[in-house]
Structure 1
Amino acid sequence: MTALLRGARIVNPRQQLAAFFAAFIALFAVLLGSTSAAAAPLAHNNNNAPGSVAVVTSTANGKTYVIGTDTTFAPFEFRDTSGEMTGIDMDLIRAIGKDQGFNVEIRSLGFNAALQALSSNQVDGVIAGMSITDERKKIYDFSEPYFESGVQMAVAANDDTVKSYEDLKGKTVVAKTGAEGETFAKSIADKYGFTVQSLDQSATMYESVKSGNAVAVFDDYPVLAYGIAQGNGLKTVTDKEAGGSYGFAVNKGKNPELLAAFNDGLAKLKANGEYQKILDKYLAAPKNTSSGSFFDLLGTALPALMKGLGNTLLVTAISFVFAMILGLIFGFMKVSNNIVLRGIATTFVNIFRGTPLLVWAFFFYFGIPQITGQPINIWVAGVLTLALNSGAYVAEIVRGGIQSVDPGQLEAARSLGLGYGKSMQRVVVPQAFKIMTPSLINQLIIMLKDSSLLLAIGFTELLYQAQQIYAANFRVTEVLIIVAVIYFIAIFLLTKLANYADRKFNR
């Protein structure tokens, strides 16, 4: 029993290195047969895939600018029933672009993510109902104000206990992160003795109030008015507080011609009456998009959700292939006798298994462009995030599978005259793969669910599409039920397929 896997020192370094790569190639060839369906090109184009930031000269005319925006801030930006971005901000930037002769590519990211994308030069400008503040002026250059806002407080429609700020003592209210409502709520919180909880989405805030987790919400008055018109289950109980001004933003010192074109176009739209028509379209008599039965909602939402599911499955498949490659490499390195290889593999596993996946999503999509000065495609960022995270887990699965094979199997193969590499390739690896298969299937399912975290960087996966839908109609519970059923069916079928392949391959 002297030639065990973890102690086969009779093999010289050259033989060991050759055996390492032979065993790796053998196992990868085995696994490739069952994962070939996951292979897909990385260069996948979609509306949210970042392109190169436009190179501008002395004028905005004829240029295409990438504009970042929020995802859930109706009536300023939201998706209509056809899936197109619409709202006051969207109509305004498109009308100004048409007037000034430049094109816009809208990238729906979320408010905080849009600002990070601007700072990392992933977008050229941001229009997202953003208040112009002295603090923000230090980082961004703003246009002339295009909307004068204000803050109101709303409570659940059936709540008769909270009618003023004095009724909030000892209670919790919600406000949107980074928005004017949050600033105002925090400014009076100590005076009236309430706690402010900040959330990222308007729809989530409203659901929190309706469910009783908070007693009131502070939000911009047009957003509240629009939501109430859509039947969000709230009512306003205070007058509008004097608010700030919304502005279009670019990075400080960047794209001055775009800012000048926005100001010029805005002035023309106000002069010819088009600006007021845009406001009246969404504020005077907003169209109710939340009516209809559950099956009407299902029929309306399903096309967008299926598109999101397709992106979810594709990014999972691509990422799993790369995760398997990384997992096999570092898994074999972890069982190597070479202390340097083991150290490298251990470091890789500890880093990516010991840090949150969302941190890497933000790093790859927002951090790398700030470091390198070059934008990164959102599909590349998503695949890197999922593949590196899952690759660390697959490496441990590979290591455990190899070390679970009875060491006597290797010794027996060696005693029959097979070399170390052939023994690993023909005896140890096939047995290890059978042991690993259930864990690899489980990791694939985990990766599919983890892909939902990519919505934080604006990746158009399934849950992202769901947010776009309920941001406009405020039917949060019903939309999420539909999404849960879609996830369940997809994972159930994927599990059945993987188990069938396992039985057929490992019989």
Structure 2
Amino acid sequence: MKVSKRLTSFILFFAVIFTAFNIILPTSKVQAEEKTYQIATDITFAPFEFQDVNGDFVGIDMDLLAAIAKDQGFKYEVKPLGFNAAVQALESQQVDAVIAGMSITEERQKKFDFSDPYFDSGIIMAVDSENDNITSYEDLKGEKVAVKTGTEGASFAESIQDQYGFQIVTFDDSANMYEDVRTGNSVAVFDDYPVLAYGIKQGNGLKSVTDKEAGASYGFAVSKGQNTELLEMFNNGLTNLKASGEYQEILDKYLETGSDEAKVDTGFFGLIKESMPSLLSGLGMTLFLTVVSLIIATILGIMFGLFRIAKNKVLSTLAIIYIDIFRGTPLIVQAFFIYFGIPAALDFRISAVAAGLITLSLNAGAYMAEIVRGGIQSVDKGQMEAARSLGLPYGKAMAKVVLPQAVQLMIPSFINQFVITLKDTSILSIIGINELTQSGKIIIARNLESFQMWLIVGIMYFIVIIILTKVSNVLERRIKNGQA
């Protein structure tokens, strides 16, 4: 009976966690009558989608979507996930549609329904602006070439790789891909011509050296057989925009004249001033994820740490399974599984923030459990025996005698886990959470200042971690001196 009750409590505990996240952070499926569609994109793909200095989503795709929504009278919410995560979110029906410069291919048409093409793309090759040695595909033999995953440039590079004998290096965003060429790690880059041409115009340090190769067309995508009304509205709106001339005006805005943003100061302090609002917003999300997940992780760690040393084999086995799973798999895999895998299997939606909190909590909880186990086992066994000999029940002896001593031994490890969890939040940018690292990526996509921006982001992480470490050290001393 005791085992049954504990197992029931165990199951209910996790049910409460998921229910709480569903209440606090909206995760239910969007109902048709609300007509607010969740549309995923990649806001590091200028000039099609990026974020301006005011934090607004702009670009060809974003302006087209806004104009079509206005023309057709539907509401939508943009989910800036990044291209790979956006496609996976659509596959798992976490979002209703994707607009992200997505090429219409036969393979993708097996999984998604596409709108009428809204842009005909192509591929060009570019090299560092000071590189005069690479002028054709024949010059690539034995060299490294940079591409972005999921793009036409990547597909084209793969199709000619064997013929010209070069090695492909893959990146998830354009800014890092361009930086790899500028630093000389790769000698060339293949990318969609409007994206690369826009980057060159904005000063990404590259130059094109080949004519444009024919490419596929971009389309607005929904899941196969789903949201047909949204697809129809997109097509109708696109037709109306082309007829009115607004479609061409949007293209000219970004392809002919470039972005209408004023040129910002690209010096170190100028970038700090221009980027600080976005970075502080990202830092706020980082701290929120860290603090909330660690509170939950501490509860999980204490519970499973006690389970781990329990004499009951069922409880100890459950603890071992939980700890081994979350310590034995990468955090990024856990994030993908919780955000994409479980919702797809059980047919429900969960917000990226909720998925990120659950991932961090469960991951950190597994490490906390081992910290608790180690701390308790470090206390002399005679302490428990003495408490029991005085007539204290096991629970009270553990709570009143053993745990207070164990806590002092655990504090350094708790502090270390706090720092690790704070840094681990950067991995959650992969599912579109706009924390500090993701904020840096978004800013770099706009200003192409990779080195200085990553230096600023690194300094911010360093300052926060140093402050938290100093505060934790003071708290540790006070606890050990019996002042807290």
Q: What TM-score do the two structures reach when normalised by structure 2?
A: 0.92
CA contact (8 A) 2:143 2:186 kept: yes
* Pair 1:100–1:418, CA change in 2 (3 A): closer
CA contact (8 A) 2:147 2:168 kept: yes
Shift of 1:146: 0.4
The one of 211, 219, 225 aligned to 2:191: 219
In the other structure, the counterpart of 1:170 is 142
Q: Distance in 2 between matches of 1:51 and 1:358?
A: 21
In the other structure, the counterpart of 1:389 is 363
Q: Deviations over 1:249-308 (max 9, x none)?
A: 111111111111111111111111101110111110213746532222111100000001
In the other structure, the counterpart of 1:131 is 103
CA contact (8 A) 1:148 1:246 kept: yes
Residue 56 (structure 1) aligned with residue 28 (structure 2): no
CA contact (8 A) 2:264 2:270 kept: no
The one of 426, 448, 464 aligned to 1:490: 464
The one of 72, 90, 94 aligned to 1:122: 94
In the other structure, the counterpart of 1:435 is 409
Shift of 1:54: 3.4
Shift of 1:411: 2.5
Q: Distance in 2 between matches of 1:421 and 1:71?
A: 53
In the other structure, the counterpart of 1:422 is 396
In the other structure, the counterpart of 1:66 is 38
Q: Distance in 1 between matches of 2:424 and 2:91?
A: 26
Residue pairs, 1:41-440, within 5 angstroms: 52-56=28-32, 63-287=35-259, 289=263, 291-440=265-414
Shift of 1:84: 1.2
**1:214 alignment partner AA:** S
In the other structure, the counterpart of 1:468 is 442
Q: Distance in 1 between matches of 2:164 and 2:369?
A: 54
Shift of 1:443: 0.5
Q: Distance in 1 between matches of 2:72 and 2:64?
A: 12
Residue 480 (structure 1) aligned with residue 427 (structure 2): no
In the other structure, the counterpart of 1:24 is none
* Pair 1:374–1:428, CA change in 2 (3 A): same
**1:285 alignment partner AA:** T
CA contact (8 A) 2:266 2:449 kept: no
Q: Distance in 2 between matches of 1:133 and 1:391?
A: 43
Shift of 1:426: 2.2
In the other structure, the counterpart of 1:500 is 474
Shift of 1:43: 7.5
Shift of 1:213: 1.1
Q: Distance in 2 between matches of 1:105 and 1:432?
A: 48
Q: Distance in 2 between matches of 1:469 and 1:89?
A: 18
Q: Distance in 1 between matches of 2:375 and 2:39?
A: 48
CA contact (8 A) 2:59 2:254 kept: yes
Q: Deviations over 1:324-367 (max 9, x none)?
A: 11111110111111222211111111111101111111111111
Shift of 1:506: 2.9
**1:411 alignment partner AA:** E
Bigger RCO (CA 8 Å, 6+ sep): 1
1:322 is paired with a residue whose SS is helix
Identify the range of structure 1 (496-505 vs 358-367) with the bigger mean alpha-carbon deviation.
496-505
**1:362 alignment partner AA:** F
CA contact (8 A) 2:125 2:209 kept: yes
Q: Distance in 2 between matches of 1:136 and 1:415?
A: 70
Q: Distance in 2 between matches of 1:222 and 1:151?
A: 9
CA contact (8 A) 1:65 1:104 kept: yes
CA contact (8 A) 1:42 1:379 kept: no
In the other structure, the counterpart of 2:15 is none
Q: Distance in 2 between matches of 1:212 and 1:416?
A: 72
* Pair 1:211–1:375, CA change in 2 (3 A): same
**1:502 alignment partner AA:** E
Q: Distance in 1 between matches of 2:154 and 2:168?
A: 8
In the other structure, the counterpart of 2:14 is none
2:369 is paired with a residue whose SS is helix
CA contact (8 A) 1:172 1:194 kept: yes
Identity, % of aligned positions: 56
Q: Deviations over 1:162-182 (max 9, x none)?
A: 001010011110111111001
* Pair 1:388–1:51, CA change in 2 (3 A): closer
1:182 is paired with a residue whose SS is helix
In the other structure, the counterpart of 1:4 is none
Q: Distance in 2 between matches of 1:65 and 1:453?
A: 27
Q: What TM-score do the two structures reach when normalised by structure 1?
A: 0.88
CA contact (8 A) 2:279 2:439 kept: yes
Shift of 1:412: 2.8
CA contact (8 A) 2:138 2:164 kept: yes
Identify the range of structure 1 (288-297 vs 456-465) with the bigger mean alpha-carbon deviation.
288-297
CA contact (8 A) 2:22 2:28 kept: no
Shift of 1:422: 3.2
* Pair 1:53–1:76, CA change in 2 (3 A): farther
Q: Distance in 1 between matches of 2:265 and 2:45?
A: 19
Q: Distance in 1 between matches of 2:130 and 2:298?
A: 54
Give structure 1 stretches of 5+ with no counterpart: 1-12, 22-40
Shift of 1:50: 6.8
How many residue pairs match? The answer is 465
Give structure 2 stretches of 5+ with no counterpart: 10-19
1:460 is paired with a residue whose SS is coil
Q: Distance in 2 between matches of 1:80 and 1:155?
A: 27
Q: Which has the larger radius of gyration?
A: 1
Q: Distance in 2 between matches of 1:198 and 1:101?
A: 40
Shift of 1:51: 5.4
**1:56 alignment partner AA:** A
CA contact (8 A) 1:157 1:233 kept: yes
